[in-house]
Amino acid sequence: MPPGIYKKLMSTSMDAMMGNLGGAMKAMPLRQIAQIGGMSAEEAQKLDKVDLSQVMAIYDPHWEERQKLTMHAMFGAMGDFFTTMEPELREGMATAYANRFSLSELNDLDRFFETPTGTKYAATATTIMTDPAVMNTMKDLMPKMMQQMPHFLEAAKKATAALPPPRKIKDLSPAEKARLAKALGMDESKLQDPKGTS
């Protein structure tokens, strides 16, 4: 893989995918977003038939620009971070390949990567997700995936149905409260249940 490949990945493919996700979210009706957030279908049905972009245009006229700048800055900074981590990542990749391929197989791969086709493949394989053909598919996929989000969440809910619900502060023993307060670095009297729990 050419040097700087991780920064390139972060600044192109991930940026584009997040852009598609943001576009899918903007185009979704507010009631659908509310259902993803846990509102029942009956409650969500009462919401106006408007999409998120209409709501945000009222609340924050610079919302779309703010989202783009935020994502661009975040993935740029993440790209810089991954550049500093590249030697360790390469070491990890080398170990992973050594665990899965024999020396003879690795030599076969090395000979392939020395050919013009192998060199081209090495330079493009990790960034193929940025190809317009792939990105257009992702653009079409995101709205469909977001529409299925209530189904995904319901599957997760069913998978954990047999587990007891998370405990509340009042359910903890004095020793557990003391340990929790110490772990959080706060006074025990200020402990409270996370918002959204009932």
Q: Where are the domains of the chain?
A: 5-160, 165-191
Structure tokens at 198: 């009932």
- pLDDT, residue 102, reads 97
Q: Which pTM was predicted?
A: 0.49
Residues forming a β-bridge with 29: 51
Show the CA angle centred on residue 37, arms to residues 14 and 191, nearest 5°.
100
pLDDT for 56: 67
Torsion of CA 177, 182, 184, 187, to 10 degrees: 70
User: Contact 46/161 with Cβ under 8 angstroms?
Assistant: no
Closest alpha carbon to 56 in 47, 65, 43? 65
Q: Residue 33: which of 54, 55, 52, 56 has the closest Cα?
A: 52
**Tens of each residue's pLDDT in the chain, 198 residues:** 667 777 766 666 555 555 555 555 555 555 555 555 555 666 656 665 556 666 667 767 787 788 778 877 887 788 788 888 888 988 998 999 999 999 999 999 999 999 999 989 988 887 787 777 887 787 777 778 877 888 888 898 899 999 998 888 899 899 998 998 888 888 888 888 876 555
Q: How far is CA 152 from CA 51, 91, 109, in A?
A: 21, 36, 39
pLDDT at 118: 93
- List alpha helices for 10-148, DSSP H: 15-27, 30-36, 41-45, 52-59, 63-100, 103-113, 116-124, 132-147
Nearest to 149 by CA among 35, 30, 41: 35
Facing residues of 51 across strands? 29
Length of the chain equals 198
Which pLDDT score, from 0 to 100, does residue 122 have?
84
